[in-house]
Amino acid sequence: MSQSLPIPPNEEERLKALASYQIMDTLAEKEFDNLTRIASHVFDAPIALITLLDEERQWFKSKVGIEAESTPREISFCQYAIVDGETLIVNDAQEDERFENNPLVTGNPNIRFYAGHPITNEQGHSLGTLCVIDEKPRSATPEQIELLRGLAETAMSLIECRKANYRLEIYKRFFDESLNLMCIVDMQGICREINPFFMKKLGWEQSQLLSRPLMDFFHPDDQEQAYARLAKLNEGEPAVEFENRLRKKDGSYIWVQWNCQPDPAAGQMFAIAYDITPLKEKNAALHEAIHHKDIFLSNMSHEIRTPMNAIIGFSDLMERTKLGPTQREYLDAISVAGNNLLAIINDILDLSKIEAGKIDLESKPLELKKVIQDAIKLSQSRAEEKGLRLKASLDMDAPEYIMGDPTRLHQILVNLISNAVKFTNEGSVTVDIEVKDRDEEHAGLCFKVSDTGIGISEEDQERIFNRFEQARQPKEVLFGGTGLGLSIVKMLVELHGGYIEVESQLGKGTTFSCYLPLPIVQSPEKPKATDVDTNSTLKLSGVRILLAEDNKLNQKLGSFALKNNGAIVEFAEDGEAAVEMAKKQVYDIILMDLQMPKMNGYEATEEIRKNLKVNTPIIACTAHSLVGERTKCIEAGMNDYISKPYTEAVLIEVIQQALREK
- SS3 for 43-77 is HCCCEEEEEEECCCEEEEEEEECCCCCEEEHHHCC
- Give the other-Cβ count within 10 Å of 659's Cβ: 16
- How, if at all, do strands 47-53 and 126-134 pair? antiparallel
Evaluate if residue 307 carries a pLDDT over 90.
Answer: no
Evaluate if residue 534 carries a pLDDT over 60.
Answer: no
pLDDT of residue 470: 54
- 480 vs 356 pLDDT, higher one: 356
- Per-residue pLDDT averaged across 91-96, rounded? 95
SS3 of 556, please? Answer: helix
Give the torsion through C-alpha atoms of 213, 216, 218, 220, to 10 deg: 130
Record the pTM.
0.47
Per-range mean pLDDT, top range of 66-70, 343-347, 355-359, 402-406: 66-70
Note the pLDDT tens digit of each residue in 32-81: 999 999 999 999 999 999 999 999 999 999 999 999 999 999 999 999 99
Q: Which residues face 128 on adjacent strands? A: 52, 119
Rg (CA), the chain: 43
Is residue 159 a contact partner of residue 127, using CB atoms and an 8 Å limit?
yes
pLDDT of residue 2: 43
First to last CA, the chain: 106
Kindly give the interhelix angle for 552-563 and 648-661, rounded to the nearest 10 degrees.
70
Q: How far apart are CA 477 and CA 626, in angstroms?
A: 35
Angle at 621 between CA 576 and CA 618, to 5 degrees: 65
Is residue 361 a contact partner of residue 408, using CB atoms and an 8 Å limit?
yes
- 117 vs 648 pLDDT, higher one: 117
pLDDT of residue 352: 66
Give the torsion through C-alpha atoms of 400, 404, 410, 416, to 10 deg: -90
Please report, rounded to a whole number, the percentage of residues in the chain having pLDDT higher than 70: 89
Q: How far apart are CA 643 and CA 654, in angstroms?
A: 11
Q: Is 549 exposed, middle or buried (0-12, 13-18, 19+ CB in 10 A)?
A: buried
Q: Which residues face 210 on adjacent strands? A: none
Is residue 359 a contact partner of residue 353, using CB atoms and an 8 Å limit?
yes
Q: How far apart are CA 541 and CA 26, in angstroms?
A: 101
Please report, rounded to a whole number, the percentage of residues in the chain having pLDDT higher than 90: 50
Element at 297 (helix H, strand E): helix 277-318
Q: How far apart are CA 294 and CA 660, in angstroms?
A: 35
Evaluate if residue 418 carries a pLDDT over 70.
Answer: yes
Is residue 511 a contact partner of residue 535, using CB atoms and an 8 Å limit?
no
pLDDT of residue 465: 81
Q: How far apart are CA 387 and CA 383, in angstroms?
A: 6
- 85 vs 320 pLDDT, higher one: 85
